[in-house]
């Protein structure tokens, strides 16, 4: 594999579906790690994020690019641009006009890439306390 992109038309629904279909396996996988403060904190942050998604502010977006990766040996060859463009084609096909991308504050290279692809910074946020991130918004062209 040289790269992939993952996205959701509704991120919260993914977590709900994952929990409904795999609750026992998830508990079994997470339980030993819960005694690690870092893992427990991230899990609580995720639960908080999901609960806040149910209380969306006006204008909040459900569609989201979740992750995009290109293997190191293949970077700089336009693969990320192709993946991103294909994602916008798929969102357009599904009738989604805008989507968001949450990018860590320290990931300047990723921020520059998304800005080059037409994303604009919408707001500064903290998914994990003390770790600032930027929410970018992309308008899907018709």
Alpha helices in 3-141 (DSSP H): 11-30, 37-53, 79-93, 108-116
End-to-end CA distance of the chain: 30
The count of C-alpha atoms lying within 13 angstroms of the C-alpha of 39, restricted to the half-sphere facing its C-beta, is 8
pTM of the entire predicted model: 0.71
Would you state the structure tokens that stand for residue 38, as one six-digit string? 């870092």
Confidence of residue 60 (pLDDT cuts 50, 70, 90): low
**Helix, strand, coil share (%) of the chain residues, nearest 5:** 45, 25, 25
CATH architecture of 3-139: 3-Layer(aba) Sandwich (3.40)
pLDDT for res 130: 84
Q: So where are the chain's domains?
A: 3-139
Mind listing the pLDDT tens digit for each residue in 91-123?
Answer: 999 999 999 999 999 999 999 999 999 999 999
């Amino acid at each position: 594999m040289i790269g992939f992109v993952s996205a959701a038309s509704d991120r919260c629904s993914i977590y709900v579906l994952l929990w409904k279909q795999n609750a026992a396996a998830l508990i079994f996988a997470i339980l030993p790690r819960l005694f690690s403060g870092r893992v427990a904190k991230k899990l609580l942050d995720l639960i908080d994020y999901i609960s806040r998604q149910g209380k969306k502010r006006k204008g909040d977006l459900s569609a989201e690019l979740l992750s995009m990766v290109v293997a190191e040996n293949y970077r700089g060859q336009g693969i990320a641009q192709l993946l991103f463009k294909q994602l916008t084609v798929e969102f357009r096909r599904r009738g989604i006009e805008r989507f968001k991308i949450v990018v860590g504050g320290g990931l300047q290279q990723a921020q520059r890439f998304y800005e080059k692809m037409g994303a604009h910074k919408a707001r500064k946020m903290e998914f994990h306390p003390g770790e600032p991130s930027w929410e970018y918004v992309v308008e899907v062209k018709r």
